[in-house]
Amino acid sequence: MSLVSHLEELRKRILLSLLGVAIGAVACWVLYPQILDLLLRPYCSIRGKTAAESVFGSGCELLVTDPLEPFSVRLSVAGYGGLALAMPVLLWHLWRFIVPGLYSRERRWAIPFVLSGLVLFAGGCALAYWSIPRALDFLVDIGGPDLISVFSPAKYISFVIKMTMAFGIGFEFPLILVFLQLIGILTPAALRRSRRYAIIGIVTLVAILTPSGDPFTLLILSGPMWLFYEISILIGALRQRRQRRAED
Measured distance CA(173)–CA(158) in Å, rounded:
23
Residue 1 near residue 96 (C-beta atoms within 8 A): no
Round to whole Å and give the CA distance between 166 and 156.
Answer: 15
- The alpha-carbon radius of gyration of the chain (Å, integer) is 21
> What is the predicted pLDDT for the residue at 1?
64
Q: Are 39 and 98 within 8 A, CB to CB?
A: no
Rounded Cα distance, 243 and 213, in Å = 43
Residue type at 118 in one-letter notation: L
Cα distance between residue 21 and residue 97, in whole Å: 18
**Angle at alpha carbon of residue 236, lines to 98 and 172, rounded to 5°:** 55
Residue 86 confidence (pLDDT) above 70: yes
Q: If you count them, how many residues does the chain have?
A: 248
Instruction: Give the pTM.
Output: 0.76
Distance from C-alpha of 153 to C-alpha of 40, rounded to nearest angstrom = 10
Tens-digit pLDDT profile for residues 3-51: 777 788 888 889 999 999 999 999 999 999 999 988 888 888 776 555 5
pLDDT for residue 215? 77
Quote the DSSP letter at residue 99.
G
Across 212-234, average pLDDT: 82
**Structure confidence at residue 166 as a pLDDT band (50, 70, 90):** confident
Give pLDDT tens digits for 61-83: 788 888 888 999 999 999 989 98
Tell me how far apart the alpha carbons of residues 169 and 176 are, in angstroms, rounded to a whole number: 11
Q: Domain locations in the chain?
A: 3-247
Tell me the Ramachandran region of residue 48: left when phi exceeds 0, alpha when psi lies from -120 to 50, beta otherwise.
left
User: Rounded CA gap, 73 and 158, in Å?
Assistant: 8
Task: Render pLDDT for 120-145 as a digit per residue (tens, 0 to 9).
Answer: 888 888 988 888 888 888 887 777 77
Does the structure show a pLDDT above 70 at 84?
Answer: yes
What percentage of the chain has pLDDT greater than the value 70? 90
* CB-CB contact of 128 with 164 (8 Å): yes
For residue 57, pLDDT over 60 is answered with no
More confident: 150 or 52: 150
